[in-house]
Structure 1
């Protein structure tokens, strides 16, 4: 079923001249744009200290989620769908294993960090961007749907762990949020 859904989503690749460049662009610059938008949060005027705390949480969740992925990659060696003949690749080949998706982890960890910290409008915006990044990874042929779901899970896990361990208004947090 995973291969069938992946193939169906990827079947649109190469068929629509307008959608292909958009999906390639999203897959290539989506995560950097999300990171840039988190950085920009540092200078918001409203509820500055809390938003800065959330930006730090998002960055920590991003890093922790990717670290978790590296641990998973030690045990799971899933070939990419284009190597298995399931998808048509629109971008350059990747050198690592397919599961879990680092792009999904990175984008979803940020969105989940904002959701867990009580910033729902920002969280929705980040979730929408993260969804597009995840969809683009399957569309361009570099991931299975379950790779993206696995990356989403590690991103969520990273954000939850950060939420539990990095508390607002601690001495470290007050120092970090007062920078600049």
Structure 2
């Protein structure tokens, strides 16, 4: 079913005019630099420091769960290795399940979403969904890879908020947040 959905997306939603846009979207989040810069900006500003800290922990949890545990454990091949297609991206160097892009963007965005009550959180959520869809559009992940990545990212964000809340009354944490 996964491959059927992916092929349908490729046959009905992929258009040459959109290719560049989705390549930019996926690469924007790809190497993690944007996540690190945005997290550091949030940590530097006093009014968003707690959010930045929760995001940082969420991203660390994401790396541990996705990159160091699940991808090597499951070792699912990328869809383009099974279904011949002209690729718009170079070969990916890691396994397919779960989607690292989807997990990390949701680890970041959901941590922001649950700690901030501003309009930016909705824009970030839309951005996260675009990144997730780009992974399907570019044929580098199956739908279940992306869905699992979203769930893992959300769980990392929730776990991060819970972990940080356990230490917010500690003197060293109070000092850090000042």
TM bracket (short chain): 0.7 to 0.9
The residue aligned with 2:107 is: 109
Indicate the residue corresponding to 2:64 in structure 1.
67
Matched, 1:38 2:39: yes
Q: Among 137, 148, 151, which residue is 2:149 paired with?
A: 151
Corresponding pairs, count: 172
User: Structure 1, residues 74-116: CA drift from partner, whole Å, max 9, x if none?
Assistant: 4212110100106542101112110001111110011111122
Q: CA deviation at 1:34?
A: 4.5
**Structure with the bigger percentage of helix:** 2
Instruction: State whether residues 72 and 95 of structure 2, in contact with CA within 8 Å, keep that contact through their aligned partners in structure 1.
Output: no
String of CA shifts for 1:106-136, please: whole Å, max 9, x gaps: 1001111112224352322221111111111
Q: Shift in Å at residue 149 of structure 1?
A: 0.8
Structure 2 residue aligned with 1:4: 4
* Structure 2, unaligned runs of 5 or more: none
RMSD of the alignment, in Å? Answer: 2.1
Q: 1:98 aligns with which of 96, 99, 113?
A: 96
* SS of equivalent residue, structure 1 residue 162: helix
User: In the alignment, is the contact (CA less than 8 A) between 2:43 and 2:51 conserved in 1?
Assistant: no
Q: 1:43: Cα distance to partner?
A: 5.2
Q: Secondary structure in 1 aligned to 2:49? A: helix
Q: Secondary structure at the match of 1:82?
A: helix
The 2-side partners of 1:146 and 1:108 are apart by 15
* Counterpart secondary structure, 1:29: helix
Gaps in structure 1 of 5+ consecutive residues: none
Partner of 2:117: 119
**CA 149–172 in structure 1, closer or farther in 2 if over 3 Å, else same:** farther
- Contact 1:6–1:86 (CA under 8 A) maintained in structure 2: no
State the distance in 2 between where 1:21 and 1:139 align.
11
For residue 66 of structure 1, report the CA deviation from its aligned partner: 1.8
Instruction: Give the Cα–Cα distance (whole angstroms) in 2 for the partners of residues 73 and 176 of structure 1.
Output: 34
TM-score, with structure 2 as normaliser:
0.85
Residue number in structure 2 paired with 1:24 = 23
